[in-house]
Amino acid sequence: MCGIVGYNGKNKAIDILLDGLSKLEYRGYDSAGVAVQEKDIKIYKAKGKIINLEEKLKNKKLNGTCGIGHTRWATHGEPSETNAHPHVSNDQSVTLVHNGIIENYQELIKKLQKHGYIFYSQTDTEVLANLIDYYYKKYKNGPSDAINRTMVRVRGSYAIAVMFKNHPDEIWVARKDSPMIIGKGKDGVYLASDVPAILKYTNNVYYIDNLESACLKKDEIIFYDLNGDTIEKELKVIDWDITSAEKEGYEHFMIKEIHEQPEVIKKTISSYINDGSIDFTKCNLTKDILKNVEQIYIVACGSAYHVGVCASYVIEDLARVPVRVDVASEFRYKNPLLKENDLVIIISQSGETADSLAALREAKNRGIKTLAIVNVVGSSIAREADYVLYTLAGPEIAVATTKAFSTQLIVSYLLAIELACAKKQIDKEVYSDLLKEMQSLPEKVNNILNDDLKGIQKIASELSSAQDAFYIGRGLDYAISLEGSLKLKEISYIHSEAYAAGELKHGTISLIEDNTLVIGVVTQEAVYEKTLSNLTEVKARGGYILTISPDNIDVSKVSNYKISIPKTNKFFYPSLTVIPLQLLGYYIAVSRGVDVDKPRNLAKSVTVE
């Protein structure tokens, strides 16, 4: 949720810190702050946007080359300058920024108060600064020992960056269950909670694991385990183009990322199809493993959950393997009935989603095979899962996911087809036809973006005053309606719900009145007539009907407005219908004057439960 950035090297730290924090704005925040090593550690904080912090710093001459910065999302304590990070120990000998939540902070406050510590903020983070200071002074064994003792003592999740008054030109870091990467560049070393913050400066990074710490010097990084022993880490290369994290002339990251979908879909498909066959050998996911799978659990949050719902329809139909889709925040608390030959699939763009990571660990603790579908190489979920299928979406900056969602769909299709082949549920001809049709999807997505853009903009401007919207469909159309509804509500703030069309008469239709917006997704030939009947009922009660369908399905009698999409295999329609649904949400939000890339109260990566 929050963002951390740090630098120690040859250049002015403040410029790098502010630039890095601006790259993390998409994570969601309500205040920002920096600490820079001069003769003493100088701290500046501001409530609100980073521009407020920049205003405070306008006439300050900060030439220090070592510093840390933070954007805060309030959890403990209201958004305020006092509660903003960095926080300091009582005598200001320890300065710290923190992502995560310390669950036993009240217990720790009582312990530290007995030793004379006082607290000026409402945060759990200030406890960490004073606890590290306490162990540092009590045992006199240096920063590594103080941090390790703190890690053992606290419960919760954290990624911390610490500066010690008595150890200038060093930044100490540690983590447990909150993301952090460390970069090595020609002009110094960097740290951040997400790749885009430092991608401008280096793509060579280390991933620090749970209950590990590190010391970042100007040209050296030393890693430690919980015993204080030094350990070796492997340097990884981030294969992301820096321009992917820039707007490149687009008004918002979201619309840029919508237009990147043909390219990233093609790239993801190409990475897994070799000589006309699906190839998962890079992740050691063989047909022998797949053929023994008896049941699948798909666990995810938000849009990734909607991918799971789509995947469940395709997998069950194609491979005849039962699939259960669970919201990650509920999965481990329901004591799921997992069996030896089950497969738990975790879907996450960031690979750091707290609830999804907890679900993964629950499955692994029970000895169940796990498969991750993630976008970020080296993320926690990717490292901990038994098998990993990467979505090659590149960095996604907008809070509302678009291209990551589309590449997750593609990987789900590929998995379904390979599973069906391993289970001998499809023959070679069907297998080949499915792959051929899938490879046509990038061009068809591109056609929608080229042909329908102006029409969707027009209808969006007409519908921007809507107060409520209902999305309906059956089967895969219902599954993708969930995502369309989420896109609208999260960025335009219009109340929106998605329903299986057959459920309308079980209560929802009572909400339909004159000009109520109803979006009908109608692509599945086996059930389209039933969906049209439902839409007819809605229209009879005054609803305004927008339909999304291929031209071979006649919706003219019920539609006030129709968006046409190309024809494809029934399993792949979600990849096409989602494009106008994304555009509709985007242009309605723009018409309403909303900050599309940073919708209120939302963050890109939810890294706390």
Q: What does the pLDDT look like over 270-279, one tens digit per residue?
A: 999 999 999 9
* In a shared domain, residues 352 and 466: no
User: Among 238, 269, 287, where does a domain finish?
Assistant: 238
Average pLDDT over every residue of 1-6: 86
* In a shared domain, residues 189 and 151: yes
Handedness of CA 497, 501, 505, 506 (dihedral sign): negative
Q: CATH no. for residue 37? A: 3.60.20.10
User: Among 413, 439, 465, where does a domain finish?
Assistant: 439
Q: CATH no. for residue 510? A: 3.40.50.10490
**Contact (Cβ atoms closer than 8 angstroms) between residue 303 and residue 350:** no
- Mean pLDDT check: name the lowest of 134-138, 140-144, 558-562: 558-562
Q: Where does the pLDDT of residue 259 fall: very low under 50, low under 70, confident under 90, or very high at 90 and above?
A: very high
* In a shared domain, residues 277 and 184: no
* In a shared domain, residues 401 and 529: no
Q: Which domain holds residue 306?
A: 249-439
* In a shared domain, residues 429 and 457: no
Q: Is residue 447 part of a domain?
A: no
pLDDT at 609 over 70: no
* Dihedral of the alpha carbons of 155, 8, 606, 147, in degrees to the nearest 10: 0
- 2 has catalytic annotation: yes
Cβ contacts of 378 within 8 Å, gap of 6 or more: 181, 205, 207, 236
Catalytic choice (2, 66, 301, 421)? 2
* In a shared domain, residues 280 and 376: yes
Q: What does the pLDDT look like over 319-369, one tens digit per residue?
A: 999 999 999 999 988 888 899 999 999 999 989 888 999 999 999 999 999
Q: Where does the pLDDT of residue 146 fall: very low under 50, low under 70, confident under 90, or very high at 90 and above?
A: very high
- Mean pLDDT check: name the lowest of 67-71, 429-433, 474-478, 598-602: 598-602
* In a shared domain, residues 338 and 232: no
* In a shared domain, residues 392 and 499: no
pLDDT at 568 over 80: yes
User: Among 209, 238, 267, where does a domain finish?
Assistant: 238
Q: How much is the pLDDT for 604? A: 53
* In a shared domain, residues 375 and 400: yes
Q: What does the pLDDT look like over 303-329, one tens digit per residue?
A: 999 999 999 999 999 999 999 999 999
Q: Is residue 253 part of a domain?
A: yes
With a pLDDT cut of 90, the percent of the chain lying above it is 72
Q: For the chain, what is the domain count?
A: 3
Average pLDDT over every residue of 118-131: 94
Catalytic choice (23, 266, 487, 604)? 604
Cβ contacts of 63 within 8 Å, gap of 6 or more: 12, 38
* In a shared domain, residues 128 and 232: yes
Q: What does the pLDDT look like over 175-219, one tens digit per residue?
A: 998 889 999 999 999 999 988 889 899 999 999 999 999 999 998
Q: Is residue 159 part of a domain?
A: yes
Q: Where does the pLDDT of residue 531 fall: very low under 50, low under 70, confident under 90, or very high at 90 and above?
A: confident
* In a shared domain, residues 401 and 493: no
**Contact (Cβ atoms closer than 8 angstroms) between residue 397 and residue 257:** yes
* In a shared domain, residues 512 and 572: yes
